[in-house]
Structure 1
Amino acid sequence: METPLSNSGNPSPRPVHRAPLALSGLDFKLLKVFKAVVEAGGFSAAQNELNVGLAAISKQISDLEIRIGMRLCTRGREGFCLTEEGTLVYQASIELFASVDNFRDRLSCAQNELIGDLSVGVIDNTISDERSPLVAALRRIHDESPKVRFRLHASQLDEVERGVVEGRLVAGIVPVYQKREEFDYFNLYEERSEAYCAVGHALFNAADTDMSVDILKDHQFINHRYAIHRDKANFAVYDSDSASASQVEAVAMLIKTGRFVGFLPQHYAAALVARGELRALRPDLINFSTPFNLILRHNTVRSPLVKAFANALGVDLKNPS
């Protein structure tokens, strides 16, 4: 049976002029489903987020395609992929829902009440850092504004930055290796990193007096693909044969083989050191600090909710770093 999109591959003999789309409540619902599917990376992955079955999601996306007269995505054995029109609709939906949130925030501010979604991205493996103000800030927001809904995403640096740029996240809390013009940066705290080896490594039982920076350079260091930190060159030599990792936990796994030395955040490694699995190598000499910042998209209006979140973090939005 043919649908309004069955003949989408056959061009019409003349341009079809459509009336402007008048958004209804159903359209908002369908666009939210589409946005969730895109951000989950496919229909199956979106089931938990939407709390509906695969068949229902597929029907809703088909209904949206029929409603707006565009093929938004391909799905099947080749996997999920947006069409050019789908990318346009997705970006427009981000702007649409951001505008709705801004409208709602302004009304709630007039009523002296904060409501809405606080979508924040944070770099993974930072929960053990007591210097991070995030948990306390979320607690304060919840206690003072219980109608705020938290949407917290823990992922890698590039994913958090991409989320803020695209508008899926209103803010990010990330390590700063180099600043980008797309963001405004606000200082939060610094994370200390040290060099570690594990049981079975030649340096694990070495005396501190026998250990120097030059000696460390004779051992294989793990190359951190996610962190370009100039200070590491003072302590380690990297080449194309170096082991590499893209996350903190992956670095720790390679260190635990007993064959490599690697840098880890001191707060993350503390539990492994306490269990006798890792050893910090001359932390008095071999260490560096990485600044963690709140990042917001540059030149955007700060909603009351974002301002409240920044205030809870102890950040003055008038003074970017």
Structure 2
Amino acid sequence: MDRFQELTAFVAVVDAGGFSAAARRIGESQSVISKSVSALEKRLGVRLLNRSTRSVTLTDHGRKYHERMKPLLDEIAQADGELTSSTLELSGLVRIAASASFGRLHVLPLIPQLLALHPKLKLDLQLTDGVQDLLAESIDLAIRISPSYSPDAVVKRVSNASLVCVGSRDYFERHGTPQMPEDLVHHNCIVFNGIESWAFEGPTGKFSVRVSGNLSSNTVETILSAVRAGVGIGMFHGATLTRELRDAGVVTVLDEFISESRDVSLIWPNRKFISARVRQVTDFFAKELADRL
């Protein structure tokens, strides 16, 4: 019996919740579906389904096999659709994760363009400054500014964002402008994610300054708002220092002592099969973000 037929029948039974429903879904008789699944179990040497008069449920082996095989069939269907469609129109759901500030400033403005190009595409955009488990949370594509990634992830670098040390003109008028990184110990520094050691580089090489202040947060939005309000000095990626912030009186300091930067990258979780729609959405953001940044 054809292995592809066996696999298609098995996935259809699981997705439809039974043999008769699977038969109706793929246009085969119930006996053909049953024989296909039985042949698959015999070939693999394990039971994939628990059968009763009322229900069909997955065994542990069946669950693991379905998790591996379902994406494969989806990829085959997507590839077939691309070859048979004259428009190559993308459809289906893509879950995207990005940091809150970067996502709001640079990812969200691109969403209307992407959906206009592919009207049948569905997007689930999750903006958070926390680092998510891509597999556990079913994320298809993550857009991150970070020096660290899962060693198993597929990473595509698209741009680079320098770090900047910033404060408001109002704050510097009241407290003075730091001329050297060491001057920061006398200033109210707003700490992001517990990072109290800020990196700099001088004539003798790299060094760090331990900073402190009366406000810390795990979101860049909080740091930006506090800097804009004149609470203190912050350190973050230059990609989030928009023209609006500069117009609001936010300025950079100590630029000549900052050489550290972060890659802006597109990340796929560790999966055997990446759908064509995720690949094309990734290519879209790779081009548009590179042009934008």
Q: TM-score, normalised by structure 1?
A: 0.56
Residues 183 and 168 of structure 1: CA distance in aligned 2, closer, same or farther (over 3 Å): same
- Count of residue correspondences: 230
C-alpha offsets along residues 60-88 of structure 1, whole Å, 9 cap, x if unaligned? Answer: xxxxxx9899xxxxxxxxxxxxxxxxxxx
CA RMSD of aligned residues (A): 4.2
Answer whether contact 1:121 1:153 (CA < 8 A) is retained.
yes
* Counterparts of 1:307 and 1:176, CA distance in 2: 21
Name which of 95, 98, 101 aligns with 1:122: 98
1:218 paired residue number: 186
Shift of 1:259: 4.1
Residues 204 and 268 of structure 1: CA distance in aligned 2, closer, same or farther (over 3 Å): farther
1:106 counterpart SS class? helix
C-alpha offsets along residues 200-240 of structure 1, whole Å, 9 cap, x if unaligned? Answer: 53x346776x722222233232221177987369464146x
Shift of 1:141: 4.7
1:279 paired residue number: 251
1:306 counterpart SS class? helix
1:263 counterpart SS class? strand
Gaps of 5+ in 2: 1-11, 19-53, 58-62, 201-205, 288-293
C-alpha offsets along residues 223-269 of structure 1, whole Å, 9 cap, x if unaligned? Answer: 21177987369464146x76321011111233355343211333434
Pair 1:231 & 2:199 matched: yes
Mean CA deviation greater in 284-293 or 171-180: 284-293
2:25 paired residue number: none
Answer whether contact 2:153 2:268 (CA < 8 A) is retained.
yes
* Counterparts of 1:199 and 1:298, CA distance in 2: 46
* Counterparts of 1:176 and 1:311, CA distance in 2: 20
* Counterparts of 2:92 and 2:123, CA distance in 1: 9
1:77 paired residue number: none
Answer whether contact 2:163 2:261 (CA < 8 A) is retained.
yes
Shift of 1:167: 5.7
* Counterparts of 1:272 and 1:181, CA distance in 2: 35
C-alpha offsets along residues 32-55 of structure 1, whole Å, 9 cap, x if unaligned? Answer: xxxxxxxxxxxxxxxxxxxxxxxx
The structure that is helix-richer by fraction is 2
* Counterparts of 1:102 and 1:171, CA distance in 2: 16
Pair 1:305 & 2:280 matched: no
2:37 paired residue number: none
Give the letter for the 1:146 counterpart: P
Gaps of 5+ in 1: 1-20, 28-65, 70-88, 316-321
2:78 paired residue number: 105
* Counterparts of 2:227 and 2:66, CA distance in 1: 44
* Counterparts of 1:226 and 1:108, CA distance in 2: 48
Larger C-alpha radius of gyration, 1 or 2?
2
Answer whether contact 1:188 1:292 (CA < 8 A) is retained.
yes
Give the letter for the 1:176 counterpart: S
Residues 95 and 117 of structure 1: CA distance in aligned 2, closer, same or farther (over 3 Å): farther
1:244 paired residue number: 216
Q: TM-score, normalised by structure 2?
A: 0.60
* Counterparts of 1:226 and 1:97, CA distance in 2: 41
1:191 paired residue number: 161
Shift of 1:296: 0.8
* Counterparts of 2:16 and 2:222, CA distance in 1: 45
Mean CA deviation greater in 100-109 or 211-220: 100-109
Residues 245 and 234 of structure 1: CA distance in aligned 2, closer, same or farther (over 3 Å): farther
Residues 101 and 157 of structure 1: CA distance in aligned 2, closer, same or farther (over 3 Å): farther
Residues 180 and 257 of structure 1: CA distance in aligned 2, closer, same or farther (over 3 Å): same
